[in-house]
Structures are given as structure tokens and as C-alpha cells.
Structure 1
């Protein structure tokens, strides 16, 4: 008996069917009413189809082109269809007719591998006696859209013109969609305007093109024109219009669109409901979103994830968790929404707790998004043990280390203190995009390796990788941290004329910091005065920080005033100015600023230091006594204080200027800063050979910096301290920053 894999090339000699004149009966419906073909419509599985296929082979019916096309249609397009099986069936047909070619091209155009659609099209050009028709081109154009194959699509467009099919509305609609998805809105709109009798698909294609091309205003204007032309919109139209409202964050018009849908009795399917839900959340219509979600009779994973993500981004984590627990199916997208919400909102501990839960429950397999979010949370906390574990998982599971993951790994290692490991990851990459280069340059900058950062920037240019805005922010920060003033100037003034990157406010802030830190305050002020845009809070903050370093009270007061005009709630401005006053002993002004802060309800960000020991991150606030080992920690602090005193160390009272940052502690406050508690805990919990790594959310104070240098010498320990701006590597009584910080 013939099988699907070994079909006969001609009908059996003893078939009851008349012998066709050739291997296929072309474009003939002679067997249209054959009882075997009626069985195709009754099939409910691929197994049933294969049984019909076998029967068609036995009878020779398979070699009739019309009959074969019926089988290929079912194999490729029915809900239970298998594209692999459909391809096997197609390859067995000796001379497929044009309809059959179109069916298999159409099936692949909507598949995960649309490239096959184009390959079969080329095969068709060589083997089919008929030229592609108006049904062929929409499918190959759809495949080109999915592949972002702009040049290939242009070739198809040329073929359409040569075949005189360029007035067909279906093909024109496909071309509008193709050019729109390729980002050429002008060409898409030009073709749209040439459509003589636009149907609803024409309007939908152009509306979608405008939305996807970042021109939501055009989409909404087109919708109004559509109304004037009396073309009745459908659910696809409204999805596009709602997406435009979402991009414009126009809640008022979005609500009007939802009422329009109801008034005009437009069919609301799940896709349209999800579009409304997404619009409400992203435009701030929280109560609208809740009401709609409760009314939805059908919900899919997108519906649930939208609600989950919405609550999480609002900081309503209890509600987000409630939605997560209520989900009928918690796929990896839902886990990612919860993990990323915590990670992106400054709650890395909670993000990692959710990741550990995912690992324990094994409901879903982590994907690239999960790993990127987990690496980012690890970087924020300085949790290198977990970050290393994720890296090992990536390698063991053979996950493709693309540029996105590569960037995350480099960021994690540099922020956790292992810049050499980050460099190892960087140099192992076969392909490096601008973000990978920028991440490594930024990592070197954080560790005070300014020369190395500039050298890497030069290598990036040699590799013909065009720097972007982030690259220059990172390389300018490297100059700032190491006092490379001339190099910073050169890079800054080369940005636009040499590299085509227009300096933004953040680049001006970096340059002001470079000049200010080195004492060139007048030049910094001149740069601010020449800025082509209004100086932002970050620019004035950079100048204020420089004034703190050099004790320039008059300029500090001006910078603080301008900063608070732009950002009245910026507690950092009060803190920096208070520090300047305290440094020169003007305590009456310190008290005055503290009163202003109290009266206005401003609270400074509390200082918090963390340390990872045996994979567990421990956090310490100033004067913290909540840790289970508090007694041992404070005993160690007493020991440290005694040893420091024995070598003549006296706390620098000028550093009491940090009182504002540490909740009004008394004279002994300096010994109770969080970083000192964390270091003491490290000394009693870690082996002498282990590096002590501490992460602080604020700038480390001068006294803690001095004490940590002495501890590194007295106890023979290597200590890494990461504050808000950079790393400090302490060893043998010295710091890598060379006291330039």
C-alpha cells in the first residue's frame, strides 16, 4: 500500500477512475462531488486527514489537482492542521495548480517561519505554468512584513506593477500594510491615496501603519476622515484607534471611542476588549479598567497580565499579587510582569523573592525577560551570588547570549564589584552592539578606571560601532570620576560635529561635574550660561555638588536656589547646602534649612547599606539594631573603635554635616552609619580571605571613607564599597578613588 512518504507517480492501473491524460487533471472539477472529498470536510484531526490521504492515494484521486488542493487546504489551514504534514502532502503533488501553490504560501506567511513562504514562491516561479495572481502577492507581502524584508517587498511591488495588478484593492491593501510595517509611512500613505475604492481593510491598514509608525495623530485624523466617507468601521479599526489613544495618553478621547463602539454596536471580541483595557490602564483610567475587566465574559492571558502589570506599576503590589494568584494560568509573561514591576520600581529584594518562588513552583520556564529582570535586580542589590547562578544557568541551558543578555550580565558584574568578570563576558562576545560597549564603558567608569574607559571607547570607534547618547554619558562620567578634564572637554565638544550625537542636558550635567570637581567652577558656570536648552535640575545639582567639594558658599546658594525652583521637593538640594554650611561651622544656617524641610514636610532619603553573605543580602540602616546578630555587630564596632583610637584616629566632626542624612543622630552617629554596621557584620561573618562588598544607596560620607581605609589596613581585608555614584576599592589603607570623589 502506498504511504504518504512514498506516493506513486501515477494512478494505479486497476483504478476505477478514468485514467487522466497527464499526471494531473489541471483546473478541472471532474471529481468535485466524489464521496472521498466530502470526508475531508468531516475530519477533526490530522490522523483523520492522513486516513483520507491514504484512501486518495489508493484510488488515484490524489493525482487530480482539484482533489489534491482540497486536501492541502485542510492540511494547512484547519485549526488542527500541521504545517509540516501539509508540506509533505504538497511535496507529493506532481503538478500543483496555482490555487495549491497559493495555499501553501499563505500557510507559511502566517507561520513562525515566513521565510519558507518566499522560498516556495521562488519554487513556484520556476515550476508552475501560471504566473502569480492577485491572491499570491498579498501572502508574500505579508511574509515580507513579518520578516521586515524591505528590499524583498519592493521586488514584489515591482512584480505587481509588471503584472498590471497594481490597481487591485487587495494587493494595494497589502502594500500599504507592508510599507507601513517597514516604517515608510510616506510611501504607505501615497499608495493608500491611490486606492480608487477604499474598503474598510484599506482604512484599517493605514490607521495601523500610522499607529505602529509612531504617528498616532495621523491615525486619529484618518479615523475622522473614514467617518466622513461613511465607511463603517469594524473591530480592527477600533483596535487601531484605541492604540492611537494609548500612545497619545488621551484618556478623554479613549473613553469617547469606547462609547462610540457601544453606540454603533461594533462587535466586541476579546482582542478589542483587551485593547480597551490596555488603553484605560496606560492612560490612567484605573477605575474604568477595573469595571471593564469585571464585565469581560472572556479573558485571556493578555487580559490578566494587563491588570497585573497595571496594579504593579501603580505600586499596588497587594492587588497585583491578588490578580496573579487568581489567574487560571500563570505563564512566564505573568511572572515576568510581577518580577519586572518590583525590579523597575526600586524593589529588587521583592523581585528576587518572586524569582525564587518561580524556581520552586516550576510552573513556567524562565525566558530572556525573566533573566534580564533578575540580573538587573541582582545588580541593584549587589547580589553577586545570585547573579553568578543566573549566568551559570544561561550557560548550562545553552541559552543564546544575545546582546540584551550580554548587556545585563556586564551590568550585573560591574555593579556587584567584579569588573574583571564583566570584562571576561565582554570580550567573549562574538557580536557587540552599542549597548554592550556602553555597558562596559559605564562599568569601568563606576570603578574609577577612567583611562581604561576612554581606551575602550576608542576601540569601539575602531570597531565601527556608532556611539549613542548613553555611550557619551558613560564615558563622560568616567572622566568625571578620575579628573580627566582635558579628555572630557575633547569628547564633549566632539559629540555633535564628529559623531552626530547632539548633547542633552545629562551630558551638560556630566561636563559641569567634570569642571566643577576639578575646581573650574567659573568655567562650569560659563558652560551652563551657554547651554542651548534651559538648565535642568541635574545640571544645577552637579554644580551644587562641586560647590560642596570646594566650599564655595555664594555659588552654592545660587545653584541651590535654581535647583529648588525647578524641583521644590528635591531634598538633596537642602542636604548638600546644609553640608556646605556645616563644613564651615555655620550651624545656625543648618538649623534654618532643617526647619524649612520640616515645615514643608520634606524628608531625606534614608541611608541604607547592604552586604551579601552566603547568598543572603543583609540590610542596615543607621543605628540599626534589628539584625539577629546586632549584639555581635556592635561588639565588633567597639573593637574597631578601640583599635582606631590606639593608632590616633579621631572622628572628623566636620562630617557631622551628614546628620541631616542620618536622622539627627548625636555625636556618636558617625560610628553608627549603615556602611560601618555592614562592614562589621562582614568581618564577623566572612572568612578572612573573602572580599567584603557593601552597597550604599547614598554617597558615602567622608568619615566612613576614612574609617574604611583604616579598617582595610588594620584587618588586612579587601573592602568594596559601592555608593550612589561609584565604587571604592579599599586595600592596605588606600582607596582606588585616590580621595577624588
Structure 2
């Protein structure tokens, strides 16, 4: 869009001003002026608002000098405002203009924020127009004591009730991280306008208090203050933290709060969709599980910046779709339009960890080093977590030792890595070193340490740490810690002690706590207690298929087939299905997934041929399948044996044997618990084929080597 045109002869130009494209207007003659000049009488003033470059502004400046209009403080102030506050502002030029004014008025001083000079040279005390500007400047610099002094001056000048000053102070204290003072000023603002509410909502949102931000928004509604676009931006990110549909409707965040159709209608009605709208729709689709729609939105986006790619990768990664997250990341690798940033790399590492995709995780590690990206704690924690969950504990420890300054998250991730690999003593040793380094453990640290004690039978050590959590370390035990204790006691066969522990807990037992007891009952075959635990669990979570499956396995192992049938009928009545076992294995950077009886793989023929070979070898060393682990009532004995052979982890291991070199470890990730017939078979395979097999399930790692398990 072109700016206004003003024409005058070369002789009429002020020598201090630059010329540019001519601007068209009638040239006024010199005239006397009063402080009430207006744009209608003197059209040159309206041209100031129409200028879109400093050069055009200088043309207007020259014309004002020629006519004498510049030498009145009111009109000169308008010129300074444009030069200092417009999109093409130049503070140097504004200061030059200011210095030419013989007697600048208060408005002019306000415009340039020459606050200290104003105090020394201006006859006027700063007014309600001055303070918002200087307080905003203090906010930008996060100069707490300076802004606090301005607050005191405003009170001294009897300006402490002015809404503009109070709004500025709310923003200032929030910017400096003092939410208590910001809220105190907000509460004292008697005549709150929408800016007042927006300032406090933004402070809460940016200060990590989403709940308070959303409650404040509800307060706006009660006070009949109509939110504007700034309000929506302030609460937008916070809606994702709460799935409150009715609240979501108020802030037009249907997508974030679960109403997909409402969001889609709203989105389709939008005439001008900016990148923020596209990204919000994309993020919401993925988070709601509308993955096809998310992909459709992504493909339809006119411009795919790194924010959009991050939204899709993050949504997939955080919602149990690591394979899809890595697929988008691979697209980013091939893209020339965007490059991964720090957030992308952390999300991709997390997805790699969940999927066991160590080749890609290694690529990211190399990428970070190649591009000289300085490792922060997020990167370090993600790398340790990735290597540990992909089965390479040595590499995880190598990353840990390479870091000079370790925060609680780095320590906790390394402790978790040792714990999931069954190194209980090493976990406790590292925890002791963490304390020696004066790093205070948090709730996550204790969860990891207690899990290590549970998996390795260190009951006394685990109990000692649990009862020290609050009095010694100031960490109040939560649901996960209580569940760890129940699991620890139960795994060690102390089932009655586990029951007594539950009865004495200061919190109500949750589904996870009853689930831990049920899992221990499965391990030790305690049918009656398992039935009680399952009943209590299903009271809290009636559709928990995992509880049914655990009890099914207990009944099947003990030959209670009538109970198996009854339980299966209950599952059918509730419309529940057992989650299918799925195992994945990464070969040459590609993750291959297998389900029970899967024949969809392109090498399916070779895989089943290898399975036949494995079965023959197992029989030759005297292995007899334990058919009691089958949940189905299969009549024929040969069909039972065939069903056992078709378990998905056996298919994955067979594929690893035919596709990977003899020196490469076979790393398999299972979505369920490894138990029953698969465990002894994996041990035998590691000996028969002289291969290292690393099997990860929901609860940790099994390292099979030479016919043994770690």
C-alpha cells in the first residue's frame, strides 16, 4: 500500500529532511495556530497517520517547518509520536525532532520517555500518561527496584487509583516474576477494564499457573467483562491443561477441550486463517486422536513452519503415537523449508525412546554434536532416557558422565536407567552420590529408586528410603510411591504385609495400588487375594481390561478354566477386549511391528520358516511348551503349541535373527508384560544362537545372553 503524496518545490524543502516519492496535498500558507488545531482544518496533520516510512514522515516534517506548524508543542508532539511509536519508528530521528522544539510540553516528554530529564528540567510532575510508559520500560528490563520506585512515586503523586497505571504495574510485577504483588495490585484496581484482566491472566499463564489463569477468566465472565483477542491468546495455552468442555466453549477452544465437530465448524467458518489458527487446529486434531484429520490439516497448510511440525510431532509423541511422531520427523529431515530446533530434538528423542528406535536416537545425538548445539539439561535428560530405554545402558552412562553440571532431572533419568535394567545396588549408589553432590531429590527421583528396590528385592533399603522421604527430604509420598511399596512387598512374597500397608495408608488406595497388589498375586499364584484386589480395582475403574487379563492369567495358570470362562463372559458383557500384544524391533533405522499371528510383513514367509527352525532346535534340547499360559480353551494339543509359537515377541526375535548380523544385539520392545512361555524360550534362544537378546516390557528390561536372563 502506497503512502500519501505531498508535492512542493525543491526550494521549499527543509535542508535537514530527506526527499522521497512526492506526496500530494494542497499546500497551506503560514498561519497562527492554537493548541486546538485539528486534522479537518489542517489536513497535513492527517498525513502523519498515513505515512508508512521515515522518508515520508520527513517530508511532512519539512512541510510543517515551512508553514510554522512544527513550532507548536501539540503538533510537534504528533510528529514525535509517529517517529517514536510507529512500525517504522526511529528513536534517533525522534530525539532530533524533540531537540528542535523550543518548549516541549508534557505529552512530548511522555512520548520519548525521557523520564529522568523530565524530573530535572520539566516544570510539571509526571502525570498518568507518563507512568504507564516508564513502568512498561521497567517491565522490559525486568528492573524490579526501578519499577517499584515508580510505583511509590505514583502513590506519592496521588495517581495510585488510575487504571492505566495499575494495569502497567500488574504487567510489571508479573514480568519480574512476583505474582503475589501483581495480584495484590490487580485486586486493588477498583475499576477493572479488559486490560486489567488480560494483564493478570497473562501473568498467571506465563508464570506457570494455568489453573489460576483459567479461574480468573471465569471471574471475567461473572463480572460481565467481555474478553477480547488478547484474552484468548492469554488463556489459549492453558486450555490444554484442563479438559473442561463448557469452559472451552467460552474461550472458543472446542478443539483443545474435546469437541472436535464444534472446532471444525468454527475453523471452517474462518475467512482468514493465520499460521496460529492452522497450528491450533492441527495440534487439537492430533491430541484428540483424529490423526487422519490432523494429517489432512497439516497437508492443507499453506506454509509449514517449524512450529507446525513441532505441534504434530509433539502431539503424536505425547499421545502414544511415537511411530507417527518419528514419521513426521523424517519428513522434516528431508524438508528444505525448516530445520529442527531444540524442542523438535527433545520430542524426537522421547519418541525414539518409547519406540526403541535407537538408530534414529543416535542420529539425533550426532546431529546435536555436528551442529555444535550446546547440550542443556533437557537434551541431556532426553539422551540418557533414550539410550537407557533403547537398551544401551553403557551409552546412557557415557552421556551422564560427560555432563559437568547435573540437575535433578539428569540424576533422576540416570537413576531410572539403572533401575529399569535391574541394577538395584548401582541405583542406590548413584542416589548416594546425588546426595553428596548436594542435589535435592524430587518425587520422580524417589519413584525411580523405589522401583529399583522393588525389581531387585531390596525391601529393607526401599522401606528405609520411603519412610525418610518426607521427614528427611521434604518430599510427600504420592500415589506412585505407595504403589511402588505395595509392588515391592508383593514381589518379595510379603502379600499380607502389602495388604496391611494399604490399610494404613493416609491416602485412599487408587487403581494403580490395587493393580500392584494384583500383579504380585499373579506372580505368587494367590487366587483368593487376587480376586479381592481385582474387585477393588474394578470398583474404581470398571473398564480396566488389564485387571481382567491379570486375573485371567492367574486362573489359567492354576487350571481354573470355569473361572476363565466366567471372566471372559464379563469382559464381553462390558465390551472389553484384551489389548493385543505388539512387539517392535528396529533394523537399519526402520521400526518393524508384529502382532500375534502376524503375517503382514513382506518377509513373512522367511520369518515363519525361521520359527519352524527355532521350534525344532528347542525340541532337540528337550524344551516342552508350557501350555497352561494359554488363555484360550484350545482343545487340540498341537494347536496349543502353534498358538504359543505365534506370540508376537517370538515373531520379532525370528525377524531379528534373519535380518541382523551375528554381532548385533536383538532389541525388542513389547507393549505388555513379558511372562509365561516367552521368557524361558528367549533364554534358550540366546544360548542356541549365541545372540544377545534385549527384551523390554512395561516394567523393565530382560537381558538374555548365553541361556541366562539378567
TM-score, reference length from structure 2: 0.81
Q: Which moved more, 1:347-356 or 1:383-392?
A: 347-356
2:661 counterpart SS class: coil
Q: Is the CA contact (8 Å cut-off) linking 1:611 and 1:693 kept in structure 2?
A: yes
CA–CA distance in structure 2, aligned partners of residues 290 and 604 of structure 1: 33
Greater CA drift, 162-171 or 285-294: 162-171
Query: How far 1:305 sits from its partner (Å)?
Result: 1.7
What's the secondary structure of 2:256's corresponding residue? helix
| 1:250/1:559 CA distance change after superposition, 3 Å | closer
Is 2:343 the counterpart of 1:369?
Answer: yes
Alignment match, 1:680: 654
- Conservation of the 8 A alpha-carbon contact between 2:625 and 2:641: no
- The correspondence for 1:178, drawn from 166, 172, 182, is 172
Residue of structure 2 equivalent to 1:215: 212
Give 2:495's aligned residue: 521
1:313 paired residue number: 287
SS of 1:650's equivalent in the other structure is: coil
2:228 to 221, 227, 235: 235
Whether the 8 Å CA contact 1:207–1:218 is kept in 2: the answer is no
Asked if structure 2 preserves the Cα contact closer than 8 Å seen for 1:479 and 1:487, the reply is yes
Equivalent residue, structure 2, for 1:538 = 512
Please report how far the alpha carbon of residue 142 of structure 1 lies from its aligned counterpart in structure 2 after TM superposition: 3.5
Mark the CA change 1:307 to 1:588 in structure 2 (over 3 Å): closer, same or farther: same
Corresponding residue of 2:523? 549
What does residue 593 of structure 1 align with? Answer: 567
Give the whole-Å Cα distance in 2 for the aligned partners of 1:126 and 1:407. 54
* Contact 1:343 1:373 survives alignment (8 Å): yes
Output aligned runs, 1:112-511, within 5 Å: 134-135=128-129, 137-142=131-136, 145=139, 153-158=147-152, 160-161=154-155, 165-180=159-174, 187-195=181-189, 198-202=192-196, 204-206=198-200, 213=209, 214-215=211-212, 219=216, 222-223=219-220, 226-227=223-224, 233=226, 235=228, 239=232, 251-252=245-246, 275-276=251-252, 278=253, 280-511=254-485
1:578 aligns to 2:580 (yes or no)? no
- Name the CA shift for 1:45/1:225 in 2 (closer, same or farther; >3 Å): same
1:78 aligns with 2:71: no
The answer (yes or no) to whether the contact 1:216–1:248 under 8 Å persists in 2 is no
Asked if structure 2 preserves the Cα contact closer than 8 Å seen for 1:658 and 1:701, the reply is no
CA separation of 1:162 and 1:484: change in aligned 2, threshold 3 A: farther
1:636-655 aligned at under 5 Å gives the runs 636-655=610-629
1:145 Cα shift? 4.8
Deviation of the 1:563 alpha carbon: 1.4
Larger deviation, residues 141-150 vs 173-182: 141-150
Is this contact kept in 1: 2:644–2:677, CA < 8 A?
Answer: yes
SS of the residue 1:717 aligns to:
coil
CA distance in 2 between counterparts of 1:699 and 1:53 reads 78
Q: 1:444 to 1:652 in 2, by over 3 A?
A: same
**Can you list the C-alpha shifts for 1:452-486, whole angstroms capped at 9, x where unaligned?**
22222233333333322222211111111111111
1:666 is paired with a residue whose SS is helix
Q: Secondary structure at the match of 2:279?
A: helix
- Asked whether the equivalents of residues 584 and 652 of structure 2 are also in contact (C-alpha less than 8 Å), the reply is yes
Q: Kindly tell me the number of residue pairs found equivalent between the two proteins.
A: 664
Task: Confirm or deny: 8 A CA contact 2:258 2:288 kept in the other structure.
Answer: no
CA contact (8 A) 2:136 2:168 kept: yes
Tell me, in whole angstroms, the C-alpha distance in 2 between the residues paired with 1:356 and 1:485.
45
From 512, 523, 529, give the equivalent of 2:486: 512
What 5-or-longer segments of structure 1 have no aligned partner? 1-13, 18-28, 106-119, 258-274, 737-741
Change in Cα spacing, 1:122 to 1:325, as seen in structure 2 (3 Å) is farther
Question: Given the superposition, is the C-alpha separation of residues 518 and 171 from structure 1 closer, same or farther in structure 2, using an over 3 Å criterion?
Answer: same
Determine helix, strand or coil for the equivalent of 1:612. Answer: strand
Q: Take 1:683 and 1:245, find their aligned partners in 2: how far apart are those partners?
A: 48
- 2:27 maps to none
Counterpart contact for 1:207–1:240, Cα < 8 Å: no
Aligned partners of 1:550 and 1:128: how far apart in 2? 87
CA deviation string 1:572-593 (max 9, x = no partner): 2222222222223333333332
8 Å Cα contact 2:584/2:670 also seen in 1? yes
**For the residues of structure 2 that align with 1:712 and 1:701, how far apart are their CA atoms?**
17
Question: How much has 1:400 moved relative to structure 2?
Answer: 3.8
Change over 3 Å in CA distance of 1:15–1:687 after alignment to 2: closer
Shift of 1:101: 7.8
- Matched with 1:44 is 52
Q: Structure 1 residues 123, 384: closer, same or farther in 2, change over 3 A?
A: farther
Corresponding residue number in structure 2 for 1:712 = 686
1:623 aligns with one of 594, 597, 606: 597
CA contact (8 A) 1:72 1:86 kept: no
Whether the aligned pair in 2 keeps the contact of 1:43 and 1:49 (CA below 8 Å) is yes
Instruction: Give the CA deviation at 1:657.
Output: 5.4
Check conservation: 2:511, 2:537, Cα contact below 8 A. Answer: yes
Q: 1:20 matched to which residue of 2?
A: none
In the TM superposition, what is the alpha-carbon distance from 1:496 to its structure 2 partner?
Answer: 1.6
1:606–1:192: structure 2 CA closer, same or farther, 3 Å change rule? closer
- Could you tell me whether the CA contact under 8 Å between 1:624 and 1:674 is conserved in 2? yes
Q: CA deviation at 1:425?
A: 2.2
Q: 1:223 to 1:460 in 2, by over 3 A?
A: same
The 3-state SS of whatever aligns with 1:693 is strand
Conserved 8 A contact 2:205-2:235:
no
What CA distance in whole angstroms lies between the structure 1 residues aligned with 2:164 and 2:112? 19
> Does structure 1 conserve the Cα–Cα contact (< 8 Å) formed by 2:198 and 2:234?
no
For residue 255 of structure 2, give the secondary structure of its aligned residue in structure 1: helix
Query: In the aligned structure 2, how far is the partner of 1:729 from the partner of 1:53?
Result: 80
**Alpha-carbon distance in 1 for matches of 2:603, 2:261:** 46
Please give the secondary structure, in 2, of the residue aligned with 1:528. helix
Question: For 1:27-38, what aligned pairs fall within 5 Å after superposition?
Answer: none
Relative distance call for 1:563 and 1:222 in structure 2 (3 A) is: closer
Deviates more, 1:509-518 or 1:594-603: 594-603
Q: Structure 1's 50 and 697: CA in aligned 2 closer, same or farther, altered over 3 A?
A: farther
Conserved 8 A contact 2:332-2:338 = yes
Question: How far, CA to CA, are the matches of 1:245 and 1:354 in structure 2?
Answer: 25
Is contact 1:485-1:515 (8 Å) kept? Answer: yes
The C-alpha deviation readout for 1:274-326, integer Å capped at 9, x for no partner, is x52x2x22333433323322222222112122222222222222222222222
Change beyond 3 A, Cα 1:575–1:79:
same
TM-score normalised by L of structure 1: 0.78
- Out of 627-636 and 691-700, give the one that drifted further: 627-636
Structure 2, unaligned runs of 5 or more: 1-13, 18-34
What is the rounded CA distance, in whole Å, between the counterparts of 1:544 and 1:584 in structure 2? 15
Structure 1 residue 718: Cα displacement: 1.6
Whether contact under 8 Å (2:285, 2:293) holds in the other structure is yes
Q: Secondary structure at the match of 2:669?
A: strand
| Cα offset, 1:529, TM superposition | 0.5
Answer with 158-167 or 719-728: which moved more: 158-167
Q: Name the SS of the counterpart of 2:677 in structure 1.
A: helix
